[in-house]
Copies of this chain bind each other. A is one copy, B any other.
């Protein structure tokens, strides 16, 4: 029932039309693990610098996240990202990216992390993703994220990494770019042919679609009137999805189960955007999550009562 995630641990500086924060705990592995922690035991693998202290560890520990495999690089600085969102939070500008300790990161997993049955390879260099995957000897379900830069710069390595995983979780545009196929159905089929049997295309405010050999499932985003900070929403979605999968690792991972996992991912992501950084996830309760999953069911349900059609 353990889930291991490898990915960035970061400090973020975020600017929106309504506010500005200079130093938020962030990074894909952080957003992911805070979400998955509601559903299963989660171990984080990634590097931090001297500036990563007790306060930051406490946020993870308070949610029961296991941090033994967070590697402290003496004399190093933690990964830093600065970005600005326009009034339309779909429009984001990256102002600064300092790799810092991530530049020479070589993931070394403890036996406990290697033994995880469920593994998430967050958006890092595909060589590193593969290095982690190779160490996970008991993995039954491995998912990964990636981004346009790796598609453009490291395609051969990326394709090798993708070929080995069970599930690809990326944005709409990334599925299309990866497969050079503007139609999502065909793009998903092309990914299936590369290896993964599950393809999830995230569509921001429009939700997400899941393509498996058995069918298609789509879930809208929960309608949120107050999007404060969208940073990490995709990783939080992945955390909820993978957390649900990990919590059911002993069962058959069929479409029914993966659909429910999508619902938890979607519910968790909708909370994450309600406040800056990890703030909302720190106060979130299991009751709130359960309520939102029910709400998602309510906003997607309709009766298909047959009507007489004029043929």
Residues of A within 8 A of B (CB): 37-40, 64, 86-90, 176, 182-186, 189, 203, 205-207, 209, 211, 215-220, 223-227, 244, 247, 256, 259-260, 262-264, 285-287, 289-290, 293-294, 296-307, 309-311
Chain B residues near A37: list those with CB within 8 A.
310
Partner of A311 from B40, B206, B219, B286 at Cβ < 8 Å = B286
Whether A259 pairs with B89 at a CB distance below 8 angstroms is no
Partner of A260 from B211, B256, B290, B303 at Cβ < 8 Å = B303
Partner of A219 from B40, B90, B205, B302 at Cβ < 8 Å = B302
Partner of A300 from B89, B217, B290, B310 at Cβ < 8 Å = B217
Chain B residues near A224: list those with CB within 8 A.
183, 185
CB proximity of A133 to chain B, nearest CB, Å? 26
User: In the complex, what residue of chain B is closest to A262 when comparing beta carbons?
Assistant: B302
Can you list 24 residue pairs at the A/B interface with Cβ under 8 Å?
A38-B309, A40-B310, A64-B310, A87-B182, A88-B176, A88-B182, A89-B183, A183-B224, A183-B226, A185-B224, A185-B225, A186-B225, A203-B206, A211-B223, A218-B299, A247-B307, A259-B303, A260-B303, A264-B307, A286-B311, A290-B306, A296-B304, A297-B302, A300-B302
Q: A207-B218, A216-B223 are in contact. Are A304 and B293 (CB under 8 A)?
A: yes
Chain B residues near A206: list those with CB within 8 A.
203, 206-207
CB proximity of A73 to chain B, nearest CB, Å? 30
